[in-house]
Amino acid sequence: MIDLRSDTVTRPTEGMRRAMMEAPLGDDVFGEDPTVNRLEEYVAGLLGKEAAIYAPSGTMTNQIGVYVNTGRAEEVLIHEGAHVFVYEGGAPALLSGVQLRTLPGEGGVLDPETVRKAIRPENVHFPRSRLLCLENTHNTAGGKVYPLEDFAAAANVAREGGLKVHLDGARLFNAQAATGIPAREWCEHVDTVSVCSSKGLGAPVGSLLAGSEEAIHEARRARKAFGGGMRQAGVIAAASLYAFEHHQERLAEDHERARTLADRLREVGYEVAIPETNLVLVEVERPEEFLEALAREGVLATPGKPGYVRLCTHLDVGDAEIEAAVEAAARITTLQR
Ligand code: TLP
């Protein structure tokens, strides 16, 4: 099977497994795991923030980000296709008691005017607008990079209106690899940022939330309360550290393969936008039926936004698998749009 469902499906490399074997360990709930501590410092530095905290998943770091920046019954402004809104099981309501207000925007990008108009005036009737959530790269938009200027403009409008800003940067390093802009430049405009080592960077598990000392101190309380306090977590944190140290640059290879995949799918007749990073959205008539047929041909993919399927390149697929996936898709062109 060629697995293009997600960049989360990768297995740890030899070097990564060695790093895991050799990692010095301690109890991280006591703050005594040297590997976790090293990872947190490393990632805080990488993102230009005072501190960072390691957690099991991107969902947890996003939700801790929402929690530390908001209070009960407050409102979060967020793109209508955002992961935090669509794919996190309603957790902002469950864990933070906040209300999400979704906003439209082409390619996951919010027009600053749309943000400005959505900020509510102080009035007893209204929820308080407290947080703007942005996402880069944008998953449902097909791995689209949030242009830095547009990002800064939306964040500035929010901050002028007294809101905090959280960045879901699960694939922020893909944006860095695609543009050459250091990840930290987007982070300058936000209060908290989550990044994942378990996506394109290839670690088996793990995500970090970065922000001010104060925000991360609160995040430690939230992580414990949400059940994310882990003990000798260095055994997995070592894989994340290895991923950040060794796999940032190779993300460009995934982008190259995604472009090849898109080009070749177009050649065999599919409607495919040219991807900016590692997610390829293919327009099909009946996505579920298409995915079943593709699986019968030995290729796994997932539904994308409505009317699309998503194919994702990653560390565990090479040129041969990409070509084989195209040939598989070419055998089922009756389902193309
Ligand atoms: N996304 C997964 C699925 O949940 C859709 C995927 O395969 O793309 N933010 C963004 C932008 C994400 O794409 C994801 C994972 C997360 C957060 C959550 O990360 P995890 O899966 O570690 O909770």
* 219-265 pLDDT, tens digit each: 999 999 999 999 999 999 999 999 999 999 999 999 999 999 999 99
Quick: pLDDT tens for 23-32: 999 999 999 9
| Ligand 1 midpoint to CA 206 (Å) | 11
In the predicted structure, residue 20 carries a pLDDT above the cut 90: yes
pLDDT of res. 337? 52
Q: Please return the burial class of 214, using the count of CB atoms within 10 Å of its CB with bins 0-12, 13-18 and 19+.
A: exposed
Listed residue (227, 168, 251, 237) closest to 205, CA to CA: 237
Domain 250-336 bears CATH identifier 3.60.15.10: no
- Burial pattern 241-279, b for ≥16 Cβ within 10 A else e, equals bbbbeebbeebbbbbebbbbbbebbeeeebebbebbbbb
Provide the token pair at 252. Answer: 């460009």
Which atom from ligand 1 is nearest to the alpha carbon of 138?
Answer: 11
The domain limits of the chain are: 11-246, 250-336
Q: Which atom of ligand 1 is nearest to the CA of 82?
A: 11
Percent of the chain with pLDDT over 70: 99
Residues with CB under 6 A from ligand 1: 6, 8, 57-59, 62, 83, 87, 135, 139, 168, 170, 196, 198, 207
User: What is the average per-residue pLDDT within 117-125?
Assistant: 97
Which pLDDT score is estimated for 320? 97
Q: How far is the CA of 124 from the centre of ligand 1 (A)?
A: 36
Task: State how far the Cα of 145 lies from the Cα of 249, in Å rounded to an integer.
Answer: 16
* Residues 142-154, mean pLDDT to the nearest whole number: 98
The confidence band for 52, taking pLDDT boundaries of 50, 70 and 90, is very high
Of the options 3.60.15.10, 3.40.640.10, 3.40.50.720, 3.40.47.10, the CATH number for the domain spanning 11-246: 3.40.640.10
Average pLDDT over residues 59-63: 98
Is residue 293 over pLDDT 90?
A: yes
Distance of CA 115 from the midpoint of ligand 1 (Å):
24
Could you tell me the distance, in angstroms and rounded to a whole number, from the CA of residue 15 to the centre of ligand 1? 25
- Give residue-wise pLDDT tens across range 225-238: 999 999 999 999 99
| Residues 6 or more apart in contact with residue 256 via CB below 8 angstroms | none
Neighbours of 139 (CB within 10 A): 24
Q: What percent of the chain has pLDDT over 90?
A: 97
Same fold, 11-246 and 250-336: no
Q: Which of 87, 145, 302, 308 to mutate to test the pocket of ligand 1 (most atoms within 8 A of CB)?
A: 87
Give per-residue pLDDT as tens, 160-208: 999 999 999 999 999 999 999 999 999 999 999 999 999 999 999 999 9
Average pLDDT over residues 124-138: 98
Angstrom distance (rounded) from CA 257 to CA 137: 17
Q: In what order do the strands lie in the sheet with 164-169?
A: 51-55, 207-211, 192-196, 164-169, 129-135, 75-79, 99-103
pLDDT category, 92, cuts 50, 70, 90?
A: very high
- 252: Cβ contacts below 8 Å, ≥ 6 apart: 177, 178
Mean pLDDT of 33-38: 98
Task: Write down the pLDDT at residue 336.
Answer: 56
Nearest-atom index, ligand 1, CA of 7: 7
Per-residue pLDDT, 305: 87
At residue 14, the pLDDT reads 98
Whether residue 56 is predicted with pLDDT greater than 90 in this model: the reply is yes
Mean pLDDT for the stretch of residues 64-75: 98
pTM value surpassing 0.85: yes
Q: How high does pLDDT run on average in the chain?
A: 97
292-305 in b/e form (b: 16+ CB < 10 A) is ebbeeeebbbeebb
Whole-number pLDDT of residue 333: 76
Q: What separation in Å is there between the alpha carbon of 202 and the centre of ligand 1?
A: 14
